[in-house]
Amino acid sequence: MSAQQMLKVFVTRRIPQEGMKILKKAGMCNLSVWDSDEPVPRAELLKGVADAHGLLCLLSDKIDAEVLNAAGPNLKVISTLSVGFDHLAIDEIKKRGGWSTWKPLWLCGYGLSGSTVGVIGLGRIGLAIARRLKPFGVKRLLYTGRQPKPQAQEVDGEYVPLDTLVRESDFVVVSCSLAPDTQSLCDKTFFSKMKKTSIFINTSRGAVVNQEDLFEALSSGQIAAAGLDVTTPEPLPTSHPLLTLKNCVVLPHIGSATYSTRGVMSALTANNLLAGLTGSEMPSELKL
């Protein structure tokens, strides 16, 4: 097993060599041992268990919610050197183990059928998104931008003011370009106008969104959920508050992550470069 595949195991005390030999011989454990016959201090326990896949503990070790939270989602096994298990917070452990039983509203969300979708920026990408959404039974497709778009007829798009789009949409999809007038467009005032059941999607640029205001809207229940393919910065630090939310999905800017799309992007970039060098018209020139 490679170093990247080794599983971290924290052992809270010096244990007999028979057990240690078994763990070492298995060749799959990156062992971290509190090398003492005395109980591991609480602070060292919390530090040692961080990101661990396995925990080998003793009866004197209090394994409670604080320890489980410190361990995080990697923790798969707790093995105790004792017959007794009263030092283990069984109810807390059960909350974190395996699939729960099915419930009528388990993992339910909001559907597109019969919904109103608002697209901010019905350009090439926005129109492509709208085309893909229509077969799912979207009832109304609203869009906003600097001016009405003739191609909106293809998807029965309704050109409306931004306020109307934000207030009436069940799903708000941001696909506009980043410009001075769209910088931090989606802020506290923006989110306060959305329905509490609405979903916010950003596939444009991270700076279009005030992320602190988005966090507040999500954590307070002002809006239902968010999906982000773009953030500021990219990638987000692992400590960022948005990553702590269960109603926010963050992707690493992979909207164009297919072999064919990246191939087209590279060809276009090369042709742009050659056209510029030869004085020809660039196929995709940025005109300011």
Backbone phi, psi, residue 209, to 5°? -115, 135
What's the distance, CA 252 to chain centroid?
Answer: 8
**Rounded Cα distance, 36 and 14, in Å:** 5
User: What's the residue count for the chain?
Assistant: 288
**Rounded Cα distance, 185 and 60, in Å:** 54
Which residues pair with residue 140 across a beta bridge? 116
Who contacts 82 (Cβ-Cβ below 8 Å, separation ≥6)? 58, 59
Active site residues: 253
The helix (run of H) or strand (run of E) holding residue 262 is helix 259-278
10 Å Cβ neighbour count for 27? 8
User: What are the tokens at 82?
Assistant: 């004792």
Backbone phi, psi, residue 147, to 5°? -160, 160
Residue recorded with tokens 């454990």? 29
10 Å Cβ neighbour count for 225? 18
**Rounded Cα distance, 49 and 6, in Å:** 15
Which one, of 288, 177, 188, lies nearest residue 230 by Cα? 177
Cα-Cα end-to-end distance for the chain: 54
